[in-house]
Structure 1
Amino acid sequence: MGYTWQYYDLVLAGIFGSLAAGVLVGQFTAVQPTTAIVGFSFVAAAVMGHGLFVNGPVDQPTDLTDEVDALN
């Protein structure tokens, strides 16, 4: 049985892809590298925001109040 892609795998790929695109745009176009990387980092931040707040890693908001036994 092979590996199945999960949502958070795609989030990580989206973050990497957007930052890599910023580097490539900065290197191979007339856009300044710092401008391209900063611009594409906003895309990465949007992907992270979606992964954290729109489709968060909890099932219910009440899951956020559960204590973590491993840290006690």
Structure 2
Amino acid sequence: MGYTWQYYDLILLGVFASMGAGLAVGTFTEVAATTSVLAAGVVAVALIGHGLFVNGPVDGADDLTDEVDALN
């Protein structure tokens, strides 16, 4: 039985890939590295925002009221 990719694995991979692409564009083209990494950072923030707010790690609003026993 092999590993199954999950949604949040793909989010992390997308963040890594976008930042790597920004670095590569800044290194191998005439686009300034600060500009390309900033643009890649915007893509990474959009992916993280989607993972947190659009397809969040909770099933519903009721999950937000559950107490966490580990912190008590």
**Which position in structure 1 is the counterpart of 2:30?**
30
Instruction: Return the TM-score normalized by structure 1.
Output: 0.98
One-letter code of the match for 1:57?
Answer: P
User: How far 1:65 sits from its partner (Å)?
Assistant: 1.0
**Which position in structure 2 is the counterpart of 1:44?**
44
Task: Work out the number of aligned pairs and report it.
Answer: 72
Name stretches of at least 5 consecutive residues in structure 1 with no aligned partner: none
CA distance in structure 1 between the aligned counterparts of 2:29 and 2:64, rounded to whole angstroms: 45
- For each residue in 1:4-63, what CA deviation from the matched residue of structure 2 results, as whole angstroms up to 9, or x when unmatched? 000000000000000000000000001000110001100000000000000000001110
RMSD of aligned alpha carbons: 0.5
Misfit runs of 4+, over 4 Å: none
Q: Map residues 1-72 of structure 1 onto 2, 5 A cutoff.
A: 1-72=1-72
Instruction: Return the TM-score normalized by structure 2.
Output: 0.98
One-letter code of the match for 2:16?
Answer: F
CA distance in structure 2 between the aligned counterparts of 1:17 and 1:61, rounded to whole angstroms: 32
Identity of aligned residues (%): 65
